[in-house]
């Protein structure tokens, strides 16, 4: 079975540009999560969806960040405008919601804003 | 405010010895705890978990201990193997699918 698929794997962009990260969750999973990994804070939950509906976006750092899930097989995380402090690894993860709290991560999108 | 803390950024252990990774939490409502393992350029993968009704869970070489009064959990790996070298994340939740992770501890197993 295919795991969580993220794209792009690596992105280098200039400050002020729009960045869009994409995610395809595991088929049949009802929950989708966006996490950000930094050295200082580890893995931070940005937002998560249940059945395509945003449930908790309290971790989204600023209005520059937005996330959508138009259907069960696709989600985007957008940063506009991007800033150097947004440089991090962004992980998408999904969960079937049946086995308590076990979520499955993608390989991550490495974002560098210069 | 970090609700889950891993105070040791790194740990180095000799092959064959025991590795002990520690994690502290502040939210007394957390009722489920997990450890994830992450290799470079890969996403974290689930390793082992424990419910708050237990104080120990074992899976092969991996054992997780939970001390609710101290709000502390630990992961023991014995014997440690070179393939165990990775970053280990502690995570916790309070009844929902949402997981709160710590900062991670980089474990290096030396031959």
pLDDT over threshold 80, residue A63: yes
- Residue of B6, B97, B102, B104 to mutate, interface with A, max A Cβ within 10 Å: B97
pLDDT over threshold 70, residue A1: no
* Binary contact (B43, A31; C-beta < 8 A): no
Of the listed ranges B47-56, B75-84, B91-100, the one predicted with least confidence: B91-100
Are the CB atoms for A15 and A81 separated by under 8 Å? yes
Q: Give the model's confidence band at B65: pLDDT under 50 very low, under 70 low, under 90 confident, else very high.
A: very high
Distance of alpha carbon A110 from alpha carbon B21, whole angstroms: 27
More confident residue, A107 or A1: A107
Q: Give tens-digit pLDDT for A71-106.
A: 999 999 999 999 999 999 999 999 987 767 689 999
The first and second tokens of residue B21, run together, are 């990774």
* Binary contact (A42, B34; C-beta < 8 A): no
- Mean pLDDT value of segment A42-50: 94
Per-chain mean pLDDT for chain B: 95
pLDDT value, residue B37: 97
Per-chain mean pLDDT for chain A: 93
pLDDT value, residue A85: 94
The first and second tokens of residue A84, run together, are 């150097």
pLDDT value, residue A97: 79
pLDDT over threshold 80, residue B96: no
Cα distances from B32 to residues A50, A98, B54, B99, in angstroms, run 20, 14, 10, 9
Contact list in A for residue B27 (CB cut-off 8 A) is: none
pLDDT value, residue A69: 98
Per this entry, what is the length of chain A?
114
β-strands B105-110, B10-14: how paired? parallel
Distance of alpha carbon A103 from alpha carbon A31, whole angstroms: 9
- Mean pLDDT value of segment B8-21: 97
- Mean pLDDT value of segment B34-61: 95
- Mean pLDDT value of segment B26-51: 94
Contact list in A for residue B99 (CB cut-off 8 A) is: 33, 45, 101, 103
């Amino acid at each position: 079975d295919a795991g969580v698929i993220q794209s792009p794997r690596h992105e280098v962009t200039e400050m002020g540009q729009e960045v869009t990260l994409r995610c395809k969750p595991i088929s049949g999973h009802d929950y989708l999560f966006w996490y950000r990994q930094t050295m200082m804070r580890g893995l931070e939950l940005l937002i998560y969806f249940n059945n395509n509906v945003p449930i908790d976006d309290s971790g989204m750092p600023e209005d520059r960040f937005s996330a959508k899930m138009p259907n069960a097989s696709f989600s985007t995380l957008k940063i506009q405008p991007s800033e150097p402090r947004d440089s991090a690894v962004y992980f998408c993860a999904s969960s079937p919601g049946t086995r308590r709290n076990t979520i499955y991560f993608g390989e991550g999108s490495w974002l560098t804003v210069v | 405010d970090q609700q889950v803390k891993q105070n040791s950024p790194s740990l180095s252990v000799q092959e064959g010895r025991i590795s002990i990774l520690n994690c502290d939490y502040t939210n007394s409502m957390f009722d489920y705890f997990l450890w994830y393992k992450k290799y470079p350029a890969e996403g974290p993968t689930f390793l082992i978990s424990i419910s708050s009704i237990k104080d120990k869970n074992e899976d092969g070489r991996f054992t997780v201990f939970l001390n609710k009064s101290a709000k502390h959990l630990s992961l023991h790996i014995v014997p440690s193997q070179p393939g165990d070298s990775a970053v280990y994340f502690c995570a916790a939740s309070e009844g929902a699918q949402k997981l709160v992770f710590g900062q991670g501890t980089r474990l290096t197993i030396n031959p």
